[in-house]
Structure 1
Amino acid sequence: MFQYDDRLGISIPILTREWAEYQLEEQQFIMHKWETERGTIPDRIQELERSINEKQDALNNEERFATSCQLNTEISELASIINDLWLWFRTVPNVTEVDAQQKIHS
């Protein structure tokens, strides 16, 4: 249900059904696993920000146009990864209320 994404540097959920179609236990497992992965995102973002800062420092001292373009491209890609990580960080599934009620009444 989770797959490591090389670009992002984290495992992300790969859901093959609609969230409400998962049993309560499956939802809880996915949520627990996701919270563990989600908790690593701020550290991953800090790591990428450090890389951006290093590349910006190199860019400030770079005189060759081609190298400057390459550094800008790398900085843009790192910023894009950070943006995607923030989107994933904000993704928090909830236990489906219907499943929770069925569990209570079982």
Structure 2
Amino acid sequence: MKELFTYDERLGIFIPDLPMEWDEYTKGEQHSILAFWETIRGHIPDRIKELESTINRKQTQLSDESNFVLSCQLNSEIAELASVINDLWLWYRADQGISEKMHN
């Protein structure tokens, strides 16, 4: 199933990259795709925790940083990490409806 998913460096997870419409896949293929996605989806909260930990470290650095340029850089890095977390939550929730179909 990995061939139907692309690793997203920014997010740190595989995301679906389906070349055909969902209904063009057989029921067996759909089941396999959903099972693979559920495995990935299950790791998203752990990935978010990792990123939150990194944000916390950077915020600690930021509170002790007196160099304006470095403070700006840390702020920018924190904002990017927060953006990644937001995107991960979107992926986690967006395909929840599809994941529920697997169980019906």
Superposition TM-score, scaled by structure 2 size: 0.87
Partner residue of 2:50 out of 42, 47, 54:
47
Counterpart residue identity of residue 6, structure 1: E
State the distance in 1 between where 2:65 and 2:47 align: 27
- The structure whose Rg is larger is 1
Matches within 5 A, 1:1-106: 1-90=4-93, 91-92=95-96, 93=98, 94-95=101-102
**Which 5+ residue runs of structure 1 have no aligned equivalent?**
98-106
Deviation at 1:20, TM superposition (A): 1.8
| 1:23-82: CA deviation from partner (whole Å, max 9, x where unpaired) | 111110100000000010010000000000000010011111100000000000000000
State the number of aligned residues: 96
Query: Deviation digits for residues 73-92 of structure 1, max 9, x if unmatched?
Result: 00000000000100111113
Flag structure 2 segments of 5+ consecutive residues without an equivalent: none
Q: Partners of 2:24 and 2:78 in 1: how far apart?
A: 40
- Aligned CA RMSD, in angstroms, stands at 1.3
Aligned partner letter, 1:42: P
Q: Which has the higher contact order (CA 8 A, sep 6+)?
A: 1
* Greater helix content: 2
SS in 2 for 1:41: helix
Runs (4+) of structure 1 exceeding 3 A deviation are none
